[in-house]
Amino acid sequence: MGYKLSKKEKVNEIIRCGKSPQYFIDNYCRISHPMHGLIPFKTYDYQKDLLKDFNDYRFNIILKARQLGISTISAGYIVWFMMFHRDKNILVIATKFQTAANLVKKVKSITNNLPDFIKIAKISVDNRTAFELNNGSQIKAGTTSGDAGRSEALSLLVIDEAAHVDGLEELWTGLYPTLSTGGRCIALSTPNGVGNWFHKTYVDAEAEENDFHTINLPWDVHPDRDQEWFEKETKNMSRRQIAQELECNFNTSGDTVIHPDDMQWIFENQKDPVYRTGWDRNFWIWEKYIEGASYLLVADVARGDGKDSSVFHVLRLDNMSVVAEYQGKPSLDLYSQILFDAGKEYGDCLLVVENNGIGISVLEKLKDLSYPNLYYSIKGTHEFVESYKGAYDDRAVPGFTTSTKTRPLIVAKLEEFIRNKLITIHSTRLFHELKTFIWHNGKPQAMRSYHDDLVMALAIGCWVRDTALQVNKTEIEYKKAMLGGIMKTDTTMNTQIKGQEGYAQSFHQKYEKEIKQTKEFFWIYKG
């Protein structure tokens, strides 16, 4: 490429380039194309906007789809930043060291292929993963471990695929002070679920709770991509892959226990409660008690250290809808009373309290309050025992025990209910917990610094509903049929003659025997 310019024109061009990274890139930068070799770098509109943001904001966080050339435009900006500014110190880190090294390689390639008259600074030190210009500006690829960059002041920090960098929270804590003298940061990534540094920083930035400027670049910002391209591209991709690679969707990307499709379904069913009540207004109600309906209340008790919340769900059993929910930090006495009142409000429903640790104290207080329908189970077997039996059975313990044995079972049951759309969830609080409920080392648990109290309480509810209560329901139906048979064997004939067998008596007289039997066998009808 020839530039037939006078000395004055060259000087003017250098000045224009120094003032505008876009002008510099569009007119003088060349990039390597896999099919066409070295070609001029012509920016798209969204790339032009990026360059403006890089200049206007110190901290930029970019949520992007793949294959949009964001790393390449970042490389072009870095070349401009180094070429037209003295003594700039740039560090690139990424999920893999090689990824960071590849970005440095792009920067070097663009620099080397500039026209000679634009190269007002030249490479003086050249290493495989770093190089320095003779104006004092330098760039290097760093590792995500150790003390990379911590001992030096940085002019620009670039974090490539930030959502996939392990331990970035700790790394950022160490690197942030290095930017205190005016340094800039560009963090870019496709999403990788929620709870990681990239997700938290992006969400906080949207809420204007940090210094980052958010940039969202889904697949369709590219002018050459339409619906036909999308359908072809996603033909063999999973929902999670589509969300992560193309849609910039935090909610359905990442390795959550609940499948991305199901997370999206839950998200679409979220709605505000009809009532927010209770002493702290944290008792959310979507549906009041319906006469004749059966309910289940499942509670988890906080340890009392202030980190966790005490929670419960009220489940309507015929359609498995979460009709009410509580999350708060009351005292044990107050929480026991809240549970008692909520259970009474929903028809003395079966009340299941996780009995691990401090949960025992709440169960004892509920017994002192004479709550009539507590969940009991046999020690070791977790076999359900009804309250009227459990209170007098030495083998039975009140509440539900979550252990290494039962935890995977109840989580699997929750996943099954959600996957088959057998449960209705409206709660935003529960949805946010599900987003951070992941597989870690083969175990289902909340991400670090997040909670799963609501998730686990609901998991217990699903398990109790589909195991203990189902078995109990079958037994009750059998016993009712048996009792019906007993009653029908004692038949009578109506007559109008007083004193004769079969005389049409008053209701109480006529059904005295049945009423007596019903009272005797009242336990059969419970549940």
pLDDT tens-digit profile of 24-82? Answer: 999 999 998 777 778 999 999 999 999 999 999 999 999 999 999 999 999 999 999 99
- Two tokens, residue 76: 């072009």
Name 514's Cβ contacts closer than 8 Å, sequence gap at least 6: 487
- 146 pLDDT above the threshold of 70: no
Question: For residue 48, what pLDDT is reported?
Answer: 96
Cα angle for residues 452, 322, 297 (degrees, 5° grid):
80
DSSP class of residue 109 equals H
Residue type at 221? Answer: V
* 260-466 belongs to CATH 3.30.420.240: yes
Query: pLDDT tens across 123-141, in order?
Result: 999 988 999 999 999 999 9
Mean pLDDT, residues 324-350? 96
- Two tokens, residue 326: 């509580």
Confidence label for 487 from pLDDT (cuts 50, 70 and 90): very low
- The SS3 of residue 450 is coil
> 225: buried, middle or exposed (CB in 10 Å: 19+, 13-18, 0-12)?
middle
Question: For residue 148, what pLDDT is reported?
Answer: 59
d(CA 176, CA 20): 27
Closest CA to 137 of 76, 73, 85: 85
Calculate the average pLDDT of the chain. 85
Mean pLDDT, residues 469-497? 45
Tell me which of 163-172, 233-242, 351-360, 492-501 is least confident.
492-501
Question: For residue 479, what pLDDT is reported?
Answer: 43
- 281 pLDDT above the threshold of 80: yes
- 502 pLDDT above the threshold of 70: no
Q: Higher model confidence: residue 183 or residue 381?
A: 183
Name 113's Cβ contacts closer than 8 Å, sequence gap at least 6: 29, 30, 38
Mean pLDDT, residues 303-320? 86
Question: For residue 332, what pLDDT is reported?
Answer: 92
Mean pLDDT, residues 410-428? 94
- 337 pLDDT above the threshold of 90: yes
CB 259 within 8 A of CB 198: no
d(CA 23, CA 235): 38
CB 165 within 8 A of CB 99: no
Mean pLDDT, residues 102-125? 94
How many other CB atoms sit within 10 Å of the CB of residue 259? 16
Closest CA to 297 of 319, 324, 270: 324
249 phi and psi, to 5 degrees?
Answer: -105, 110
Return the CATH architecture of domain 7-214.
3-Layer(aba) Sandwich (3.40)
Buried b (16+ CB within 10 A) or exposed e, 492-518: eeeeeeeeeeeeeeeeeeeeeeeeebe
Question: For residue 470, what pLDDT is reported?
Answer: 65
The percent of residues in the chain predicted with pLDDT above 90, rounded, is 61
Closest CA to 363 of 387, 334, 325, 398: 398
